[in-house]
Structure 1
Amino acid sequence: MITVECLVDQQPVKAKNQGNRPTCLAFAVTDLNRSFLDEDLGPEYFYRATLSRIPDWKPGDGLQIPAAIEASQLGHPTEREYPYQVDEPAIPLEALPDNLALHGRPINFFTADVGHLIGRVRALVPMGLALRLTVDFYRPVDGIVAFSPIALPGAMMHAVVVVGLGCDEDSQPWFLIRNSWGEAWGLDGHAWISASYIESHAACAFGVEHGSSDSR
């Protein structure tokens, strides 16, 4: 049983569904920027802006961190103004519109140190994690992803957002994450992962600087 210490979200936040596209990082980055506007930011614009910075990209390749960092400097339109698409974009990529209001702040990547992550969550600052996935990640039980030391071979990194901190009966820390696989995953799209999972399977963490609203 996990005892909740703190939650970043003051109100329940609905988990979105990326569908059959490798867009998890785009969902996580726009989720991290949600505090800058009272309306959902759309991941499609950031995803396409990142793709345009990856030489020889083709559908299914996913994103690359340097390109994502550069693209995040642009900001993000609302989901209403630039909605998410079911399918991958066609090649050649269409130019992005230049008449949209863009919001949020750039992302930065850092080491997924558990102590640092605990401090950020206690400060009510959400962060993203790039995780190697295990079989158990696909099937949380009662909202908990069981720890396994064995990651799936050849799988892409998967981005999620950390939105809470708790501890188990042995006072070991656990982190509540929001996934982008819809509300059917875990408990309404959320689940707990252990510090051991992060230590074994997190390639890196990422976040944005939070403060007052930022529009461009």
Structure 2
Amino acid sequence: MITVECLVDNSPVRARNQGNRPTCVAFAVTDLNRRFADDDLGPEYFYRATIRRIPGWQPGDGVQVAAAAEASRAGHARETDFPYQVDEPVVPLEALPDTLDLFGHPIRFFNVDVDELIIRMRMGVPIGLALRLTYEFYLPVNGVITFSNSLLPGAMQHAVVAVGLGHDAQGETWFLTRNSWGAAWGQNGHAWIPVAYIAAHATCAFGVEHGSPDSA
């Protein structure tokens, strides 16, 4: 049993479903920025703003860290203004509209230091995490993902958002994470991950810088 120490999820963000598209970073970044907007932010707009900054991008390529950090400076559109799509965009990419209201703040990426992550969480700051995945990640049991070194082949990585801290009976720290695989994953789209998993398998962390978005 995991006892909750703190929850940092103060905005009405729900676990969404990215479908069969490599858009997890876009979901995580707009999730982090939701508390700065008056409605749900759309990952589609940010995803397209990011891939436009990647030379030679093709459908299915996903995003690159540097391009995502740059695109985040322009801000994020509401989901109602630029809805998420089932399929990848086609190339050549269409221009993004320049009349939408944009919200949120730029993100920055930083190295994983679990002690620093714990401090940030205790300060009420949600954190994005890029994780190398294990088989256990796909099937949380009672909302819990156990530690394993059995990484999936191909160095597959996935972005989630840490929204809470907890501790088990042995005193181990756990992070409550929100995924973008729909409400059926874990418990309503959330699951607890042990700190050992993050220390071993997180490749980077990212958070929101407080400042006004640059103009698009």
After TM superposition, the score normalised by the length of structure 1 is: 0.96
- What is the SS of the residue equivalent to 2:76? coil
Question: In structure 1, how many angstroms separate the alpha carbons of the residues matched to 2:78 and 2:11?
Answer: 20
Match of 1:182 in 2: 182
Residues 167-205 of structure 1, C-alpha deviations (whole Å, 9 max, x = no match): 111111100000000000000000000110001100000
Deviation at 1:210, TM superposition (A): 4.6
Q: Which moved more, 1:2-11 or 1:20-29?
A: 2-11
Instruction: Name the amino acid aligned to 1:47.
Output: Y
Match of 1:191 in 2: 191
Q: Which moved more, 1:152-161 or 1:47-56?
A: 152-161
- What is the SS of the residue equivalent to 1:39? coil
Map 1:63-82; keep pairs closer than 5 Å.
63-82=63-82
- What is the SS of the residue equivalent to 1:53? coil
Match of 1:102 in 2: 102
Contact 1:77 1:100 in 2 (8 A): yes
Contact 2:126 2:162 in 1 (8 A): yes
Question: In structure 2, how many angstroms separate the alpha carbons of the residues matched to 1:199 and 1:68?
Answer: 23
Residues 48-107 of structure 1, C-alpha deviations (whole Å, 9 max, x = no match): 011111111111111100111111111001000011011000111000001111110111
C-alpha spacing 1:35/1:10, structure 2 compared with 1 (3 Å)? closer
Could you tell me which runs of 5 or more consecutive residues in structure 1 were left unpaired when the two chains were aligned.
Answer: none
Map 1:134-213; keep pairs closer than 5 Å.
134-210=134-210
Deviation at 1:156, TM superposition (A): 2.9
Deviation at 1:153, TM superposition (A): 1.4
Map 1:7-156; keep pairs closer than 5 Å.
7-10=7-10, 13-156=13-156
Q: Which moved more, 1:175-184 or 1:54-63?
A: 54-63
Deviation at 1:9, TM superposition (A): 1.6
Contact 1:103 1:215 in 2 (8 A): no
Contact 2:13 2:40 in 1 (8 A): no
RMSD: 1.5
After TM superposition, the score normalised by the length of structure 2 is: 0.96
Q: How many residue pairs are counted as aligned between the two chains?
A: 215
Question: In structure 2, how many angstroms separate the alpha carbons of the residues matched to 1:184 and 1:137?
Answer: 13
C-alpha spacing 1:66/1:12, structure 2 compared with 1 (3 Å)? closer
Question: In structure 2, how many angstroms separate the alpha carbons of the residues matched to 1:209 and 1:64?
Answer: 19
